[in-house]
Structure formats: structure tokens, C-alpha cells
Amino acid sequence: MNKKKFVSIGKEIIDLEIAGLKKLKKSINSSFDKAVKQIAKCQSKVILCGVGKSGLIASKIAATLASVGTPSFSLSASEASHGDLGMISQKDILIMISNSGKTAELKNIIQYVNRNKILLIGIVSKKDSILYKASDIKLLIPQVKEAEGIVPTSSTTVQLAFGDALAIAAMKYKKFGKLDFKKLHPAGSLGAQLKTVEDIMITGNKIPFVSEKLQVNKALKILSEKKLGILIVRDKNKKTIGIITDGQIRRFNEKKLNILSLPVKKIMTNKPISIDKNDLAAKALSLMNSKKITSLIVNNKKKPNVTIGVIHIHTILQSNIS
């Protein structure tokens, strides 16, 4: 068999799965809405359970739910009947996934949750199955064509996409935002992209503040000491009124203008560009690039004229933010 034949087979399988996803999209109805609300309002845990390939899908969906703010874990259907049913409490929600809904391992679990009045959400493709009939919320997914007519491919893709849809819809219902996501993903490149300005800004005595009446010659010493390339000019009420950059100083020197005896207010730039402490650091980097600057003053939206920090492009890049 030549390479072109294998490419053709690959595309054929992908087309098969795309067709399954299109059928899934058309099948979503009001039961999906009910399931999302129950998942979002759950005061305990959302437990996923499946057998075989569906069990692997259950593990992935549980991980996704947990990562977007819904405490969740997966339960092995085969182990459940040997003591693990004790992991399910009355306030939990059990989501069972099965293509046929008739797998033998499901029966004991279904009987247990029904007997203990635990909410059961069934994701299944057959109405005549025990899982469909026993579920409190019935999520009927379409029956789809599998690779070679038998290999679990399209069915597991459909299950996975449906689980992702449930997880993200529940996340939206709970108004789980980027800052919430950041708390659960503090490490790695994802954590870096979710860092806020407040996480990495320069604060306290490192901020290069100068009074509006300070002479330029004295201000230059502070510019050199702080090594941020900027000076933040404040009035007598400690409100930020302007900024001076080392670039400005160079341009004055190039023009051979005598500015050393002037108060900084005379040479500062009014209305400096700033950013809120709660904005993502990635936004600060984008703003710096667009304005062709290397530093931003940081404020709080409640007090926009009060500088609480400085964020420098080197700090952002050192934090692996792009």
C-alpha cells in the first residue's frame, strides 16, 4: 500500500468524525441546558464514569471540569462495585458515559445512585438502554459510523466534544473568568500568560517618584539610581501628573538645551500611558509594543491618578510572557 493510500485513509477517518460532530451539534436540546445548570450549581463534586474507551473520555472530561472551576474526578466503573461507590455522596452529581448504555458494569452503579437519590446524568446513544431509562437528565448523543464499522473512533470523539461543551457552558454559567482560571493554572507557559500586571509590577521604594518642583539635575540622579528609564512626576497630593523618560533627556541634550536648573514639571510629558493592576501582563506587553515604549505606570481603576507600581518590558519577558 503506497503513502497516498494511507493519506486517503487518514482523511476518510477524519471526515467520518467530522460527520459525527455535525450530527452531535444538531442533537443538542433543552436537556443540555438542564445538565449545564445542575453542574454549575453543584455544591459538591461532579463524578464522571464510563467503561473502556468511554472511561478514558470520562477522565478527560473530569480533568476539564476541574480546570474550569467544577470539582470533579473520574470513577472506574469496574472498581466501583468493589468499594469505590463509597466515593459518591448524596450531594454529588454522577455523569455516566456509554455508547450503548447497556454495559454490564454500569448496572450496580445505576442501582446505587438511584437508591440513594444521587442525580444521574446519562450521556448515551441508545434510548432502549438501561442508562438512558435510569438517568434523571438524559443526554442522547447520535449514533455515528465508526472506523471499519466497529473501532470506537467517531463515538468517542462525539463523547469528548459533548463533555467539553458541557464543561465550558458550565464555566460560562458560573462566570468563571481568566483570573479564576489563573488561580488553578499557576505553573508553566499557560500560568505565565495568565499573570496579571500586579503579579510582576515593581512596587514600593523601587518606584522612581519625583516631586513636580524637583530640579532636573537632582531628578537625573534618581533616574540613574532606579534604573527603569523613567521618572514619575507627582504633585503635592501625590497624584501622578506626568512622566519623564531617559529618551526625552537624550533628546534635550542633543539639542543642547539647558534644562538642569528647571523643575521637572517644565519638561515632563503630561497624561502618561498607564495600565490597571488587574489587567493581564500580556496586555501590558501588547500596549508597550504598540506605543513603542519600555515601561508603563500601574494604577487602580478606583484611583486612576495614583501610581501604585511600574511594569517594565524586561520583567515581562523574564516571566516568559509573550
Angstrom distance (rounded) from CA 133 to CA 131: 6
Pairing of the two strands 46-50 and 93-98:
parallel
Q: What's the pLDDT score for residue 183?
A: 66
Q: What's the pLDDT score for residue 72?
A: 93
Amino acid at 63: A
Q: What's phi and psi for 287, nearest 5 deg?
A: -65, -40
Q: How confident is the model at residue 302 (pLDDT cuts 50, 70, 90)?
A: confident
Pairing of the two strands 137-140 and 209-211:
unpaired
Q: Which residues contact 212 (CB under 8 A, 6 or more apart)?
A: 233, 234, 235, 236, 241, 242, 263, 264, 265, 268
Place of cell 537632582: 218
Q: What CATH number does the domain located at 197-318 have?
A: 3.10.580.10
Percent of the chain with pLDDT over 90: 59
Angstrom distance (rounded) from CA 42 to CA 20: 30
**pTM of this prediction?**
0.67
pLDDT (average), residues 142-149: 93
Beta bridge partners of 269: 243
State the burial class of residue 185 (Cβ atoms within 10 Å of its Cβ: 0-12, 13-18, 19+). middle
Q: How confident is the model at residue 177 (pLDDT cuts 50, 70, 90)?
A: confident
Please give the torsion angle defined by the CA atoms of residues 147, 153, 155 and 156, in that order, rounded to the nearest 10 degrees. Answer: 180
> Closest Cα to residue 267, out of 216, 209, 210, 211?
216
Percent of the chain with pLDDT over 70: 94
pLDDT at 43 over 70: yes
Q: Can you read off the three cell numbers belonging to residue 34?
A: 438542564
Angstrom distance (rounded) from CA 302 to CA 312: 22
Q: What's the pLDDT score for residue 234?
A: 94
- Within the chain, where are the H helices? 3-27, 30-41, 53-67, 77-80, 106-115, 130-134, 154-173, 178-184, 188-193, 197-200, 216-226, 246-254, 281-291, 313-318
Pairing of the two strands 269-270 and 240-245:
antiparallel
Angstrom distance (rounded) from CA 19 to CA 158: 10
Angstrom distance (rounded) from CA 298 to CA 316: 14
- Counted residue by residue, the chain has a size of 322
Of 56-60, 234-238, 316-320, the range with the lowest mean pLDDT is 316-320
Q: Can you read off the three cell numbers belonging to residue 35?
A: 445538565
pLDDT at 254 over 70: yes
Q: What are the residue boundaries of the structural domains of the chain, listed by start?
A: 3-176, 197-318
Pick the CATH number of 3-176 from 1.10.238.10, 3.10.20.30, 3.40.50.10490, 3.10.270.10: 3.40.50.10490
Q: What's the pLDDT score for residue 1?
A: 58
Contact 299/305 with Cβ under 8 angstroms?
Answer: yes
Angstrom distance (rounded) from CA 129 to CA 34: 21
Q: What's phi and psi for 91, nearest 5 deg?
A: -85, 0
Of 51-65, 75-89, 92-106, 289-303, the range with the lowest mean pLDDT is 75-89
Q: How confident is the model at residue 2 (pLDDT cuts 50, 70, 90)?
A: low
Q: Can you read off the three cell numbers belonging to residue 272?
A: 502618561
pLDDT at 322 over 70: no
Of 85-89, 182-186, 294-298, the range with the lowest mean pLDDT is 182-186
State the burial class of residue 208 (Cβ atoms within 10 Å of its Cβ: 0-12, 13-18, 19+). buried
pLDDT at 186 over 70: no
CA distances from 146 to 13, 159, 267 (A): 9, 13, 73
pLDDT at 188 over 70: no
